[in-house]
Amino acid sequence: MNTIVVSLVMLLGGLAFFLYGMNIMSTGLERMAGGKLETILKKASSNKFKGMALGCGVTAVIQSSSATTVMIVGLVGSGIMTLPQTIGMLMGTNIGTTITPWITALPALGGDSSGLDWLGYLKPSFFTPIIAVIGIILIMFLNKKNIKNKDIGAICLGFAILMQGMELMSGSVEGLTKNNDVFANVISWLDGNYAGIFLGLIIATLFTTIIQSSSASVGVLQALVIGGGFSMSFNVAIPIILGFNIGTCVTAVISSLAANRNARRVAITHLAIKIIAVLICFIPFAICSAVGASFLNATVNVWTIALFHTLFNIVTTAILLPCSKLIEKLAFVLLKDKESKVEVAFIDPILIHQSPSVAISECANLTVEMCKLSKSTLDLAINNLYNYNPKTAQEIISNEGIIDKYEDRLGTYLVQLSSYSLSKNDSIMISKLLHTIGDFERLSDHAINILKVSEELSSKKIVFSKEATAEIEVITRAISEILENTALSFIGNDIDMAVKVEPLEQVIDGLISSTKSNHITRLQSGACTIELGFVLSDLLNNYSRVSDHCSNIAVAIIETSHSSFGTHEYLNAIKSSDDEVFQSEFNAFKKKYYLPTNN
């Protein structure tokens, strides 16, 4: 009895090691790939074959079909991809995940009297300790600040833990079955009872639903075969493997529950693909089992389990891929559309928790959209200054509300993401985005303030003097250019363009200061009024703050390009030194923008 208890503990411990090792390895691989995964997935167009290849490749790289599927659900939920783009990819993940069983079959390599003892060098018991040592050296002794070394080390350790889990499971099964006929009797009953094939399918589905990994489930089955001390026929193994394939869908289904309808539709599509694929195989298998087909009585081993798992997914994908349109229609039938108000798409929380690197990349994309919207909103406000239009005013107000929502959501997401273990590039990207989203939001606030100036000019029939109008026109052109340069530098991560922003900001500060002085002179001579002065001051103050925020954004781009951030240090350095680039740009802008009264 004690032996059975110890073996059960070993089995559970082995499964825990297996799952944990797979998680570490998958996370390390994904972190190394970083935002490239998101770029690769988004390349999937309407070409279902290309989508299938991408889904297979990404899953093979990160060693987790569940992670890839959840990633796809999150991308669709965020409005980045559409259902038709994902169907081929979902089928590709089914093929990509079949690599793991071939790896977990390695403990069966080698032989004693077969003359193939050299294969023992390929057994995990030989090379796993070596990989573990490499992993710990990379993490603890080689340049601890090098994130890439840590990621590679994590992958090595994850693999070693996974294989150790497989060894533990195999050893525990041997302890459970030795002097205990329970397992052998259950297998015999499943093999000899027609109802056993349905029971095996159901049990396997439930088991995989609990542990949420078909690869781990297949690994457990392989461990039973390696250490069980009894034979298992195809008649028993096939329905169990088919059940594993259905159970693996639960992760995507669970992750989509809190998502929108499009994301839930992807999860339903994934489940539908798996169920249809299982039916394609299970129905002829059940018929062959009923008539007593002799080939089903053949004994399976770890290699035939891996082979059947692979062939099942390849063959069913080949059958279902041409039917992508029908599967898409089925998804819409199962989950019909409802009329709803269209809102701005944001990062699905699924991506934040399951694939931080992809979430960061999408945060960057949304910040680019925020940048474009902030610039266009300010352009509308500036162009509306002397020609107030209620429709344009409403558009500016609506845009400002959207930009506020961008800042709130992105700020929340980025703070959550910063708590994860990230690559160096991902950490730098988060720093850059956190330092810029507030400035983009403030730009839209100044658009509202400029709109109020426009409303006041229109409602009170205020007209600036000829001199003031000419001065405002010069500053407005400079503001338009600094906005353009800032947007181009951020969208394209263009350092050369970012360098042009601060010199122009200094010129704008000088123009604004001179305009205020000129206004006081005109006020003293009676050429201007105090009321006009208040309106002019409001406009100039907002222009000044706009150029300041553009400067902040440009500094963030420049500083994060060399992995640091210090706005004041950078600005003080270029202003206090004879920086040739700064002085050259400053003089060029000063020559381009000057006040007529100062000419």
Say if residue 384 is in the same domain as residue 254.
no
How does pLDDT run across 310-356, given as a tens digit for each residue? 999 999 999 999 988 899 888 888 887 664 444 455 676 767 777 78
Say if residue 301 is in the same domain as residue 361.
no
For residue 338, with 0-12 CB atoms within 10 Å meaning exposed, 13-18 middle and 19 or more buried, which class applies? Answer: exposed
Closest CA to 245 of 12, 55, 65, 19: 65
pLDDT of 342 = 41
Question: Which residues are CB-contacts of 367 (< 8 A; sequence separation ≥ 6)?
Answer: 406, 410, 433, 436, 437, 440, 490
Neighbours of 483 (CB within 10 A): 22
pLDDT of 188 = 66
273 vs 130, residue with greater confidence: 273
> Is residue 473 in some structural domain?
yes
CATH number at residue 584: 1.20.58.220
Q: Which two tokens stand for residue 577?
A: 């030194």
Q: Which two tokens stand for residue 40?
A: 């690769």
Inform me whether the pLDDT recorded for 293 exceeds 60.
Answer: yes
Using 50, 70 and 90 to split pLDDT, how confident is the model at 40? low
Span 529-554, mean pLDDT? 88
Say if residue 321 is in the same domain as residue 385.
no
Say if residue 375 is in the same domain as residue 250.
no
Inform me whether the pLDDT recorded for 38 exceeds 80.
Answer: no
pLDDT of 340 = 46
Give this prediction's pTM.
Answer: 0.68
Q: Which two tokens stand for residue 479?
A: 């503001």
pLDDT of 133 = 87
- The average confidence (pLDDT) of the chain is 80
Question: Which residues are CB-contacts of 56 (< 8 A; sequence separation ≥ 6)?
Answer: 92, 93, 95, 96
Closest CA to 83 of 353, 327, 286: 327
Span 202-225, mean pLDDT? 80
Using 50, 70 and 90 to split pLDDT, how confident is the model at 533? confident
Question: Which residues are CB-contacts of 136 (< 8 A; sequence separation ≥ 6)?
Answer: 153, 157
Inform me whether the pLDDT recorded for 115 exceeds 50.
Answer: no
Which of the given ranges, 63-72, 139-148, 251-260, 584-593, has the highest pLDDT on average? 584-593
Answer for the pair 581, 499: CB distance below 8 angstroms, yes or no.
yes
Say if residue 433 is in the same domain as residue 471.
yes
Say what angle helices 501-525 and 580-592 make with each other, to 10 degrees.
Answer: 40
Neighbours of 141 (CB within 10 A): 10
Calculate what percentage of the chain has a pLDDT beyond 70: 78
Calpha distance 150→120 (Å, rounded): 30
Inform me whether the pLDDT recorded for 29 exceeds 90.
Answer: no
> Is residue 29 in some structural domain?
yes
Instruction: List the beta bridge partners of residue 233.
Output: 299
- Hey, CA dihedral for 161, 162, 167, 168, is it positive or negative? positive
If one counts the domains in the chain, the total is 2
pLDDT of 433 = 93
Say if residue 328 is in the same domain as residue 361.
no
Calpha distance 216→93 (Å, rounded): 16
Say if residue 358 is in the same domain as residue 429.
yes
Say if residue 131 is in the same domain as residue 277.
yes
560 vs 550, residue with greater confidence: 550
Neighbours of 332 (CB within 10 A): 13
Using 50, 70 and 90 to split pLDDT, how confident is the model at 381? very high
Inform me whether the pLDDT recorded for 112 exceeds 50.
Answer: no
Say if residue 388 is in the same domain as residue 305.
no
Calpha distance 15→168 (Å, rounded): 8
Q: Which two tokens stand for residue 176?
A: 């459970």
Which of 304, 334, 364 corresponds to the end of one domain?
A: 334
pLDDT of 400 = 93
252 vs 376, residue with greater confidence: 376
370 vs 79, residue with greater confidence: 370
Span 4-20, mean pLDDT? 75
Inform me whether the pLDDT recorded for 504 exceeds 50.
Answer: yes
> Is residue 341 in some structural domain?
no
Using 50, 70 and 90 to split pLDDT, how confident is the model at 553? very high
> Is residue 345 in some structural domain?
no
Closest CA to 506 of 588, 599, 385, 597: 588
Tokens 């797979």 — which residue?
22
> Is residue 340 in some structural domain?
no
Answer for the pair 319, 280: CB distance below 8 angstroms, yes or no.
yes
Inform me whether the pLDDT recorded for 258 exceeds 70.
Answer: no
Using 50, 70 and 90 to split pLDDT, how confident is the model at 529? confident
Inform me whether the pLDDT recorded for 369 exceeds 60.
Answer: yes
Say if residue 260 is in the same domain as residue 382.
no
Say if residue 502 is in the same domain as residue 569.
yes
Side-chain half-sphere exposure of 227, counting CA atoms within 13 A: 21
Inform me whether the pLDDT recorded for 283 exceeds 80.
Answer: yes
Judged by DSSP in three states, 208 sits in helix
Say if residue 272 is in the same domain as residue 359.
no
> Is residue 290 in some structural domain?
yes
Closest CA to 574 of 479, 503, 515: 503
185 vs 359, residue with greater confidence: 359
Span 164-187, mean pLDDT? 63
Enclosing domain of residue 415:
354-598
> Is residue 57 in some structural domain?
yes
Using 50, 70 and 90 to split pLDDT, how confident is the model at 43? low
Exposure class string for 158-178: b at 16+ Cβ within 10 A, else e: bbbbbbbbbbbbbbbbbbbbe
Q: Which two tokens stand for residue 502?
A: 């601060």
Neighbours of 152 (CB within 10 A): 19
Tokens 């890439």 — which residue?
148
Say what angle helices 567-576 and 501-525 make with each other, to 10 degrees.
Answer: 80
Calpha distance 221→230 (Å, rounded): 13
> Is residue 43 in some structural domain?
yes
pLDDT of 255 = 64
68 vs 3, residue with greater confidence: 68
How does pLDDT run across 462-485, given as a tens digit for each residue? 788 888 889 999 999 999 999 999
Which of 270, 300, 334 corresponds to the end of one domain?
A: 334
For residue 121, with 0-12 CB atoms within 10 Å meaning exposed, 13-18 middle and 19 or more buried, which class applies? Answer: exposed
Calculate what percentage of the chain has a pLDDT beyond 90: 22
Q: Which two tokens stand for residue 229?
A: 């001390």
Using 50, 70 and 90 to split pLDDT, how confident is the model at 438? very high
Calpha distance 408→405 (Å, rounded): 5
Closest CA to 594 of 490, 535, 514: 514
Q: Which two tokens stand for residue 249?
A: 């869908």
- List Cα–Cα distances, 167 to 14, 134, 254, 372, 467, in angstroms: 7, 20, 31, 55, 86
Neighbours of 398 (CB within 10 A): 11
Calpha distance 498→224 (Å, rounded): 62
